[in-house]
Each structure stands twice: as structure tokens, then as C-alpha cells.
Structure 1
């Protein structure tokens, strides 16, 4: 009996390893396509739910889909209600694993057939390159899932007759609640609802439990997935904690609805599920799992915005902290972490642009040192967060967005240091020859901060820095002649040149920030990164 238990437990382990490897392989194989798909088709909670279900079904990981959604919220690409749609849809996508196990694992018995395929898959992983190697890794995970399922079945077969439905709580209200608790405990141990559902299917196939008992356990497994979400959000950003709270509240409501539907669904399943037909009851169990998850999504979608307000009331935004998006829980997913970094750089930039615009528009106004200190602190945190992302980047994947974020961070830091030179701003405010340039610069900054459209701002500031470059050359010659003719003091001439140089350099940095911010948050594929030679040529114009 002990040996049989060991075989069954080992089968669960193989199944879990297979799920992890399959997900890892698929994520690497798909690359940034999942991110682009979610961004392209998520225009509302409804479309978010559809794309969330699809991408989760493809990569076999609801957590990866959820983390991507959190990153989008941090980068400002999605609103929280839109991200909720993705999270709801991910719950439906997770049920695909159950269908795969029920329709293929129990009906076709692929475990023994896939053993030689596993060797081929591992060899492809070892000797293949790039995407071929990742395809081999995903295939190895697929094989291990069904080998683990067969191992579980072999272990459970030895329990036939020794463990019966009578050994579990009876099909009463109290008994069903106990079964829900047992299902939750299985998921808490395995940290995978898919593994839990597979275990319930194996137990159902061996006659250890009945279909209604298995259904009650699956409800518990679905609810217990929220525990993983809670653990993942501890100490995280407000967006991550809001996501965890949404998971908990939604899954509890869905679980309650499923518990109420258990009796009618079990009665319907009894007419269609024939225990004598291999896999029949397993299909009914998975159908129940998919049905209550799909119904839950359909019922909550019309109330997504109200649900979002409830979650935001429970977990308010940390609106005062510019670095609130830099969640260490996102670091394992470098794409989502880069989104959070880009979102932070964007907010720091707009706050800094607003301070500069105020100083340009109303030079008499006292500059807030506390605001500048807050921006500087957030930039420092962003630099340290980027240092944490860098070692985790996959060299085989495209690092373009991270590179773009690094360029934006560099120019933001340099612009921040220039703004600290308050003497330059005072000189510009006093010099009548610099008033038009000052007004043009302030107007362009206001347009950028109001619209928050880096792509449009890139064109505006490209034109502005070119015009300021020409103005700088003209003023240099004029100031030199005026100083030589004693029409302008030497100090005023130097101050004028310092002022126009300051405006030109600041416009240049804003232009580069706009350009690289567009690349850091793009969902259209790898961003355009200037060559080192072009970068050097552009930098040369600042001298």
C-alpha cells in the first residue's frame, strides 16, 4: 500500500514538472507575442476576457497572463477594468489543461507511447538552437504530463477496493463543504489547480470517489488558487495587491455559485456520463469546471467597472509614490518588469516636464525643492530596479524594450541634473533675446504633459531642438559682435549663451526621452534603437 501511494505521489510530481516545463517552453517559444496579442485585442473588459482566455490556454499559465496584465496597468497601456477582463478570462483558459487530460490522457493512454518521444524532445532541447530548442522543451513538458498521469493511474489502481467513496464525506451539505476543503488542501499542497483536477480525475477513474464528490473537490481547488495569488502579492505594488484581491473576491463568488449549481449539474451529468465508458465521467467533471468558470465570467463582465471600484476601495492606489510600480514580484517576468519600469519613467518625466513648464511660464514662482527631491528619489529607485532586471533578461529574446528604457532613463537623469541649475532659468527669464525660445519650449512641454503621447511629442521636440540649435548659433555670433561693440556686457553675453545652450540641451533630452519612451512601451514589435554611431553624432550637437 505504501509503495502504491509513493507511485501515485510520484505521478503527481511528474505531472507538475511537466506543467512547469511545458509553460516555460511555450513562453520562451512565443516570446513577446503574448504581450502584443493582449495589448492589441484588449479594448474593453469583454475583449480582455477573450484574449486572456486564449493566451492562457496557449501558454498554460494563468499567472503569466495575470502578471502581463499588471505590467500593462503599470505602464499605462491598460486601465484596471480592462486588466480585470484579462484576469477573468485567464480563469477560463486554465480549464483547457483539464480538457487535454480528459480527452487525450484518459481516452488515448499516451503515457507509454510518449516515453520515446520524451527522449527525442530532450535531445532537441540539448542540441537545438533558439526556437527549435524551446519547442523541444515544450514537447518534453507535454510528454511528462501524460507520463505523470499514467503513473498516477497505476498507483491509484492498487487502491481499488481499498479506498471507496464511503471513505470520503457523504454527499450532504456538510459533506460537500468538507470535500471543498479537501480539494482546497490538495491545491495548496501542489500549488496547481490543474494538478489537483488531474488528481481528482484519476481518483474518479479508480472508483475512489463519485462524480458529485469530485465536483465538490474541484470547486475547492478553484477557490484555493487565490492563496497563490495572495502569496504572490505580499509586499507588492498596489496594482499587484489589487490584482490579488480581485482574484480572491471573484473566485469566492464563482465558487459559491458553483456550489449552488452542483446538484443540478450532477443530475444532468448522471444522464450523460456512463462510468462504463472510459473517460466519460472525467469529461463531465471538466465540463463542470469549465461551465462554472465561463458562467462566472459572463455574469461579472457587465459589472466590471463596479467590481473595479470595489477593489480600488479595498486596495487604494499609492498615488503619492512615483516608484509605486516598481514591484519586485514582477521581476521574474522581465517583460512585465520592463513595463513597470517604463511606466515609472513616464510618470517621473511628466512630473519633471510640468515643473520645467511652470518655471518657464512663471519664472517668479518658487521652485518646489521637495518635488525635485521626490523625482530624484524615484529615478534612483528606477536605476536600481533596472539593475535587478538586467541579470534576468533572456539573451535569446529581443531586449529592445529594455534597451529603450535604459536610454530614456539616461536622458531623464541628465535632464533632471540640468533642471537643478536654477541660475540658468533665472537668466533665461531676464534676457529679452530668449523670451520667444522660452515660450516655445514651455508650450511644447505643456502639449507633451497634457497629451502624454510620446510619439507625437517626438516630432514636436525634434523640430524644436533643431530650431533652438540654429538659434543658438545665431545668438552666439550676435552676442560676440554685441560684446565686442560694447553693446552687451561680457557677463550678459555669457549668460545669454548659457541660457540658449540650456534650452537647446533640455529640448534635446526631452526629444530623446519621448523617442525612447515610445520604444519602451511599444506593442508593435521590437522598437527602433539608434546605432552607436548615430547616437554619437546626435550627442555631438550638444557641444
Structure 2
């Protein structure tokens, strides 16, 4: 019996490791595509649901899809009502694992094929780079997943021969509820409904349990996923809590309907409809699992608007508008964490530029500038970037490097803002007042591009204009410096006024250079993205 338990544990471990490798690699491969898909194909609840199904099937992880949804709701790119559709779709898409196990893992003995897949994937990971290395990890994970299923099946055959599970019949309501509880606990312990359902399918294929027991266990396993969602939302942003709430309510309500109506319907059909009775029980469970999620979609999709209103009232937004979507849970999908950080940095940059414009045009004075919120935002972004691990994808690595550079420039501009009072000195001198006004006009254009949704590439003409302004200011620096010194020599300026003007002139030249470098950097950023 001990050997059987060890074999069972090893099989589950191999499955989880394979699933983790495959999912992480697919998320890295599809990270940016995942982001673009959600932006383009979620403009209605129905399209959002199909997007959730498609993305989850592609990356084999409803968690990745859910986290992506959290990030884009927070960023304002995706409405919360459409996010509900994506989450419902993710619950349907995650049933693809059951179909994969039922049609391949338990129908055919592929353990001999699994080992070469693991070897080939590992070699590809070691020898190749970037996308090929990620594909290698995906292949190795796929092989490990099915090797784990084979080990699980053997262990379940041993359990069927040595343990009598007939006492867990589904004849009484209490027995059914106990089986639901067992399924619930299985998902919590394994931290994966896919692993719990796979172990259950292996037990069914080995005749350790019967079809009725399996169906009730699957209901409990689906409910068990809500614990992971709740734990992920503890201490997280309001968007994460709302998303978790959708997941919890969807699964619990669907489970109740499935227990009361879907389960009895499947049992009756299996007993009294001949062609269904002749079907492979494992395949019936895969159908049941999909019908479970489809039932939830039928219940919730017509009422998404009201569902959204209720959740918005129950969980009102409390975080800062700028930092509310810097969610730690997005770290597991690097492309999304990078996109969320980019959004905050671009808005922070916009806020800094607006302060410069207002001051140059005399709309505000130094005592009116309150930078406490700005400083808090910059500090939080820097902390968020510090905890972000280096992504595996080369394109994501390049995006992260550019974000780090942008964060440095924002810190430099924030320091420039401390000396914004220099503008008052420049505006009093006719030979110096043109530069700040020209800069203000360029900053206004930058803000227009920064506010575009989604953020688009800076036109090359605009970057060239700013570069030209930077060159002119640099070329004039020595000439204007000599003019100021000449005015001082002729006693038109005091010594202190001369020093102040020289410092102010140096400040505006540096500020123009910094804004030009930011524009060039953001243009590079878009070229990398495209």
C-alpha cells in the first residue's frame, strides 16, 4: 500500500511539474499576444467570453487569463462587465485539460512517447535561446504531464485492487455531499483543479471509483478553485478582489445548479439512454465538466450588467487612480506586469509635463505645486520594478530594460521640477524667454500622444522637431551665456542675478535635453513592441 501511495504522489507531482513548465512557457511565448488579444477582442460580453475560452486553451491556464483580465480592468483598457465575460470564458476554456487527458492521456499508452518528448524538450531548452528555448520547455512539460498521467493510472489500479470505495456511494444526500467535500479538499491540497480532475479521471479509468462518484467529485473540485482565487485576492487591489469575487460566485452558484440538475440528468442519461451508456465513462466526465461551465455561462451571461453593478457597490475602488493596477499577481505573466507598469509611468510623465506647462505659462506658482502624490507614485513604481523578475522572453526583456530607463528619466524630470522656479527668471529676460515657451508647446504635443489609448508610436517628425529644439538650445547656450556675462559687466545685472540667470539657462537647456531623450526612448519602446 505504501508503494501505491508513493506512486500516486509521484504521479501527481510529475503532472503538476509538467503543467507548470508547459503553462509558464506558453505564458512567456504568448505574453504580448495575450495582451493585444484582450485589447482587440473584448468589446462585447460575448466576444469577451470567447476570448477567455481561446486564451485559456492556448496557454492552458485559467489563472493566466484571469490575471491578464485584472491588469487590463485596472488599466481601464477593459471594462469590468467585459472582464466578467473573459472570466466566464476562462472557466469554460480550462475544461480543455480534461478533454486532453480523456482523449489522449487515458485512451492511449503514450508513456514511451513521453520520455523522448522530455529528452527532446530538455535538449532544446539547454542548447537554444529565447523562443526556441521556451518551446523546448513547453515540449518537456507536455511530456512530463503525460508521463505523470501514466504513473497516476498505475497507482489508481493498485488502489482499486486493495481499497474498497463502495461505501462512498452516491445513493444518499450525505454521501454525495461528502464526495463534494473530498473533491473540494483535493483541489485545495493540489492547488490545481486540473491535477485533481486528472487524478479522478485516472481513478475512474482504473475502476477505483464509478461514474457517479466521479461526477460529484468534479463538482467539488470546481468549487475548490475559489480558495486559490480568494487567497490571491487577500491584500491585493480592488480589481483583483472583484475578479476573485466573480470567480467565487460563478463557481459556487454553478456548482449548486450542477448538483441539483446537471448531475441527476447525466446519471439518468447514462442509465437509460443506450448510446450514452456505451460511451467511455472518462469521456462522459469530460463532457460533464464542460457542461458544468457552460451551465454557468447560461446562468450569468444574460445578467452581466446587473452582476457588475452589485460587485461595484460591494467592492468600491479605494486605491490611488495611478497605482491601483500595480498588482503583485501580475508578476506571473511578465508581459502584463510590464504593460501595467508602462501605463503608470506614461501617466506619471504626463502629470510632470502638465506641471511644467502650467508653470511656464504662469497658471500656477511654486507654492501651489504639491508633489506628495507624484513622489509616492514614483516610489511605488520603482519598488514594483525592483520585485519584477527578469522575463524569459527576449522581447519582454527589452521592454523591461526600456521601462527601467524610462523610470530613471522620470526621476531626473522630477528633480528638474524642484528647480522650476528658474522659469520666472527666464521669463524676465527677453533673450531667454523663448526657450521655455517653445518647450511648453512641445510638451503639449507629447501629452497628446501619451494619452492615446492604446499608446501609439511617436511620429518621427515630432521627435525630429524636439531634437532640433534640443540642438538649437545647446548651440545657443554659449552665446546666451556670453550675453548674460556682458550684461553683468555693463552693470545691468548684479553678481547674484548673473549667477541665478546662468543657472536658470543651464536648467532649461538640460530640461529640453531630458524631454528629447524621453521622446527618443518612447519611440524605441514602440519599435520593440511592434
Coarse TM-score class (shorter-chain normalised): 0.7 to 0.9
Contact 1:455 1:518 (8 Å CA) reproduced:
no
In structure 2, what is the equivalent of residue 541 of structure 1? none
Contact 1:238 1:318 (8 Å CA) reproduced:
yes
1:506 pairs with 2:511: yes
Query: In structure 1, what is the Cα distance between the partners aligned to 2:409 and 2:308?
Result: 36
Query: In structure 1, what is the Cα distance between the partners aligned to 2:361 and 2:301?
Result: 46
Query: In structure 1, what is the Cα distance between the partners aligned to 2:441 and 2:217?
Result: 63
1:385 pairs with 2:390: no
Query: In structure 2, what is the Cα distance between the partners aligned to 1:383 and 1:405?
Result: 10
Query: In structure 2, what is the Cα distance between the partners aligned to 1:143 and 1:315?
Result: 43
- CA shift in 2, pair 1:478/1:335, >3 Å: closer
- CA shift in 2, pair 1:435/1:514, >3 Å: same
Name which of structure 1's ranges 154-163 and 437-446 shifts more when overlaid on structure 2. Answer: 437-446
Deviation at 1:433, TM superposition (A): 5.7
Deviation at 1:15, TM superposition (A): 1.9
Query: In structure 2, what is the Cα distance between the partners aligned to 1:363 and 1:302?
Result: 50
Deviation at 1:400, TM superposition (A): 1.8
Query: In structure 1, what is the Cα distance between the partners aligned to 2:521 and 2:305?
Result: 33
In structure 1, what is the equivalent of residue 14 of structure 2? 14
In structure 1, what is the equivalent of residue 341 of structure 2? 341
In structure 2, what is the equivalent of residue 228 of structure 1? 228
- CA shift in 2, pair 1:511/1:42, >3 Å: farther
Deviation at 1:214, TM superposition (A): 1.9
Deviation at 1:402, TM superposition (A): 1.0
Query: In structure 2, what is the Cα distance between the partners aligned to 1:73 and 1:515?
Result: 29
* 1:121-168 CA distance string (max 9 Å, x none): 444444455444433332232222222222222222234366556321
User: Is the partner of 2:399 in helix, strand or coil?
Assistant: helix
1:60-209 correspondence to structure 2 within 5 Å: 60-160=60-160, 163=163, 166-209=166-209
1:466 pairs with 2:468: yes
- CA shift in 2, pair 1:255/1:477, >3 Å: same
Deviation at 1:359, TM superposition (A): 2.2
1:370-449 correspondence to structure 2 within 5 Å: 371-389=370-388, 391-394=389-392, 396=394, 398-431=396-429, 438=436, 441-442=439-440, 445=443, 449=447
Query: In structure 1, what is the Cα distance between the partners aligned to 2:73 and 2:523?
Result: 16
Contact 1:165 1:210 (8 Å CA) reproduced:
no
- CA shift in 2, pair 1:488/1:476, >3 Å: farther
Contact 1:401 1:526 (8 Å CA) reproduced:
yes
* 1:254-302 CA distance string (max 9 Å, x none): 323333432224333442665665xx11111111111221342354345
Query: In structure 2, what is the Cα distance between the partners aligned to 1:473 and 1:310?
Result: 61
Contact 2:29 2:393 (8 Å CA) reproduced:
no
TM-score (norm 1): 0.82
- CA shift in 2, pair 1:248/1:91, >3 Å: same
Contact 2:31 2:336 (8 Å CA) reproduced:
no
Deviation at 1:3, TM superposition (A): 3.2
- CA shift in 2, pair 1:392/1:455, >3 Å: closer
- CA shift in 2, pair 1:208/1:445, >3 Å: same
Query: In structure 1, what is the Cα distance between the partners aligned to 2:310 and 2:516?
Result: 40
- CA shift in 2, pair 1:506/1:46, >3 Å: farther
Contact 1:70 1:239 (8 Å CA) reproduced:
yes
Query: In structure 1, what is the Cα distance between the partners aligned to 2:147 and 2:277?
Result: 23
1:197-276 correspondence to structure 2 within 5 Å: 197-262=197-262, 263-270=264-271, 271=273
- CA shift in 2, pair 1:129/1:365, >3 Å: closer
1:515-534 correspondence to structure 2 within 5 Å: 516-517=521-522, 526-527=528-529
User: Is the partner of 1:316 in helix, strand or coil?
Assistant: coil
Contact 1:461 1:508 (8 Å CA) reproduced:
no
Contact 1:408 1:512 (8 Å CA) reproduced:
no
TM-score (norm 2): 0.84
* 1:470-501 CA distance string (max 9 Å, x none): 36756974785587475964677776665565
Name which of structure 1's ranges 465-474 and 261-270 shifts more when overlaid on structure 2. Answer: 465-474
* 1:81-133 CA distance string (max 9 Å, x none): 44443333222221111001111122223234534444444444444554444
Deviation at 1:435, TM superposition (A): 5.8
Contact 1:472 1:500 (8 Å CA) reproduced:
no
In structure 1, what is the equivalent of residue 297 of structure 2? 297
User: Is the partner of 1:143 in helix, strand or coil?
Assistant: helix
Deviation at 1:503, TM superposition (A): 4.4
Contact 1:31 1:397 (8 Å CA) reproduced:
no
Deviation at 1:308, TM superposition (A): 3.6
1:274-289 correspondence to structure 2 within 5 Å: 280-289=280-289
In structure 2, what is the equivalent of residue 41 of structure 1? 41
Query: In structure 2, what is the Cα distance between the partners aligned to 1:46 and 1:510?
Result: 43
Query: In structure 2, what is the Cα distance between the partners aligned to 1:311 and 1:401?
Result: 34
Query: In structure 1, what is the Cα distance between the partners aligned to 2:84 and 2:320?
Result: 23
User: Is the partner of 1:362 in helix, strand or coil?
Assistant: coil
- CA shift in 2, pair 1:223/1:480, >3 Å: same
User: Is the partner of 1:160 in helix, strand or coil?
Assistant: helix
User: Is the partner of 2:166 in helix, strand or coil?
Assistant: helix
Deviation at 1:189, TM superposition (A): 0.9
Contact 1:218 1:289 (8 Å CA) reproduced:
yes
Query: In structure 2, what is the Cα distance between the partners aligned to 1:244 and 1:374?
Result: 29
Deviation at 1:178, TM superposition (A): 2.7
